[in-house]
Amino acid sequence: DAKTTQPPSMDCAEGRAANLPCNHSTISGNEYVYWYRQIHSQGPQYIIHGLKNNETNEMASLIITEDRKSSTLILPHATLRDTAVYYCIALNAGGTSYGKLTFGQGTILTVHP
């Protein structure tokens, strides 16, 4: 699975959009981009994933560049409860990784009042 690079930390004001970048310049054509988050010491929580097209769900939007070398997770209206570590993961669909997630260091997002 391709290596991903994320900034170690970011801040965001409550109510504003949080834009979390991820670089995955070596991603291959059949690797999905997944985002998970971990709030304090709870179990990681799935947020969203995509292959080529932009995706949106009730939690967030995922914008993937046309060359697929980077992506941005957007939390449209951040709340204090969105303070967490956010992980961007590249995952090979159907490959020998068998769906196992390789977590990096992630981005610590702090939402402040």
Binding site for other proteins (CB under 8 A): 32, 34, 38, 41-46, 49, 87, 91-105
Beta bridge partners of 91: 32
Kindly tell me which of 5 and 15 has the beta carbon lying closer to other proteins: 5
Instruction: Please tell me the distance from the alpha carbon of residue 79 to that of residue 98, in angstroms, as a whole number.
Output: 34
Least separation in angstroms between CB 91 and other proteins: 5
Q: Smallest distance, Å, CB 12 to other proteins?
A: 23
The answer to whether the beta carbons of residues 69 and 33 sit under 8 Å apart is: no
Question: For residues 5 and 13, which CB has a smaller minimum distance to other proteins in the complex?
Answer: 5
Query: 20 with 72: CB under 8 angstroms?
Result: yes
Cβ proximity of 42 and 49 under 8 Å: no
Least separation, in Å, of the C-beta of 98 and other proteins?
5
